[in-house]
A and B are shown apart, each in its own frame.
Chain A
Amino acid sequence: MTARTLIDMPRQVKRGEIFEIRVMIGHPMETGYRRGSDGERLPRDILTEFRCEFEGEAVFSARLYPAISANPYLSFGMVADRSGELVFSWRGDRGFAHTERVALVVV
């Protein structure tokens, strides 16, 4: 499953520096409460989970509901004491799964 994602964060930080991670993913987040032009209820199709891990350790996670806007956006802070890889993953209805990896260099 492919999805367009935007991950805004510095690729290189100083040890102990506080930085912000902002992530966005292209997804309609169909609530399951709307009706189409034929009057039929549009089935729910949302992202339900987001996780951010650093070297296998949980940094931040989110459980999402239909009240989250289309193209879900999340932002949170992080601080790192060593270089490593950040893994961002989204899961959702209809077996949706998407993962992005970003290398973080700590100097």
Chain B
Amino acid sequence: MLGGAVAGVVGGALGGALGRGAVPAGLRAVVAAGAWLASTPASLASTAASQSLPDAAPSLDAAIRAFTGGAPVRAGKVRVQIAPLVDNGNTVPLSVTVDHPMRADDHVAAIAVFSERNPQHEVASFGLSPRNPAAKVSTRIRLATSQKLVAVARLSDGSHWSGEVDVIVTLAACIED
């Protein structure tokens, strides 16, 4: 079942890239190689899945639930800043900002970032403290394909807020050598 999901993700990624017609000529060979990957037998794909990491969540929602503990998540407060069009998915600058004060009694306690279509949905999670003057973190991430990124913030009062953004990736991180 997981193997099918992996193949589906790869196939979907290629379909998305081709559908947008944004693939430069030089990339066609890479895309062709990717198409071969998508058509590899299920047995090979399932081997890949069985070797994936034990803490990999089966779906984006499941990964987010693992972070929130099932608590309701409201949309708002969280801003995900990333270039809307990414040339190289191997190193993409990402910032997450939460519009909330950082007082000792009322602050952002944690921020987690999730990816819709990377091999693993978890990207990173951050623990904050009132010593941080603002709820803002920056890092550099890998993106396997064009997809949605979701950031969820946990406040000190236990409430959860989220923000999301769509990114288009022309050179994926996972096809590199």
**Chain A interfacial positions (CB closer than 8 Å to B):** 18, 31-34, 37, 41, 44, 54, 57-70, 72-80
Contacts and interface: CB of A to CB of B under 8 A. Distances in A.
A57 B134 CA distance: 17
B142 interface: yes
Interface stretch (B11-19, B73-81, B125-133, B156-164): B125-133
Contacts of A32: 51-53
A41 B47 CA distance: 11
- B-side interface mostly: loop
Contact of B126 (A62, A72, A79, A80): A62
A60 B127 contact: yes
15 contacts: A18-B134, A32-B52, A33-B48, A60-B131, A60-B132, A65-B120, A67-B120, A67-B141, A67-B142, A72-B139, A72-B140, A76-B138, A77-B132, A77-B136, A78-B131
Interface residues of B, number: 34
B123 A65 contact: yes
A32 B49 CA distance: 11
Instruction: Please list the 10 inter-chain residue pairs (A to B) with the smallest Cβ-Cβ separation, ordered nearest first.
Output: A61-B127, A69-B91, A69-B140, A67-B123, A75-B138, A18-B133, A63-B125, A65-B122, A79-B133, A77-B133
A67 B137 contact: no
